[in-house]
A and B are shown apart, each in its own frame.
Chain A
């Protein structure tokens, strides 16, 4: 089980579930992106890192979290571009904006990153962001 401060992959029979924590919204969304990265299990790193802006918003924190993860999943799935580093520029309950630095995926020239698993989408399955004295906590199920 992959576990780092801020997130851990938790068992799920068919899918992958990630428990995310953060003392601030900024930390919470950053840890969500780190948990997603761990779920992908990337091998290698991009030869050169290029910046890209990624934003998400929603009507609630839960919608924003799912939209944020799905924006990251989209660039991996549709553009074969892997976000290696994330710097959160602005984060609040219903919006997040970040600069991602990453590069092209695959085995061709300049394409060093491979991922172990395909992630279809982040889901709302039993998703609830719990607010406590230490910040925010949620478990999100990724359809794989």
Chain B
């Protein structure tokens, strides 16, 4: 709606500007044209004055100066001198049909109008009146008379007209603009809807029918595509969930019987060792299947995160202790946990966060089999809005170019190099857990410089 008002305002302003501009242009053009029209060559007044001034002589014999004659010839005009008795005393190219004597009434008429359809102009001469006649139908003569107050109000009327015009332009542009806005508002809403991937339907009518149809079509396409994408994600997720489900039952039997054989006292030691190997590999398969399921849940955002205020240092100590209790770490690895602030709280899923920490520890140990020092740190970032859990080792490190690759899922098209150790789900899982917590995983490393993995999470306001 905001957009519509904006458009209307712009429309009205530009309409008014255009009409004012047109108005001014019209006045200027009209004025110039009128002024020029009145000044085509010499005006009749100039001609008649020239004739009068160029006519010399007295009682009966007159001569026209050459310049005046030229002027008359140029305008194809005739001329005569009416003396004080009303008789034509002198003539120049005088048409024969004209009377040679004029009464006072004739002169009065003649001074204002025509003589036998010849437009005439008069000028005073010492011996009477000089009359110059133009050819018939060549000049239009008008006499105007206006009341004085009308003339004096002309400037006011002109100003009023300008304002009237502006007001009219404003009104018209508002009406037209409102009509326009009314027809494009649904379109605007539709386009905004498209931008937010909401379904948009615009009634196709009026001027912008085809536009409305396009919007509807685009919206339908977008919805369809989203639905397809969602369906595909769901299909993939269900497929992986289904596989991991279907593997569980046969795996139960592999694990069950293998472990029964392993514990059987009637079997020779060698067979029992082989059964133990089958059992251990089965357990590996089990953890792989459940990791796959977890990563797929995180990837397709199907993981229900059970949110809870978690004191990060407490959680980290628990995760590290569990890790040490369940893995025979040995003397090769030295672990150190440094907590900068005991009070850091995050909103998160305890099990997922513990899993992320365990994965990072496992990752450092898996890739540095000959041993390394691992430093775990919990600290606030300088802006206090986020906190970081970092796991730093001083092991072999990873070439910088391969770092981004580590966060992609194994065998995905984005992953350039194959998985080297383990099943390759560990770090992608950490990255996805961090993402599910509105955080991120940052890896920094280089060959021989160890690996530093940071989980950045938003801290809770009250911590």
A and B together in one complex = no
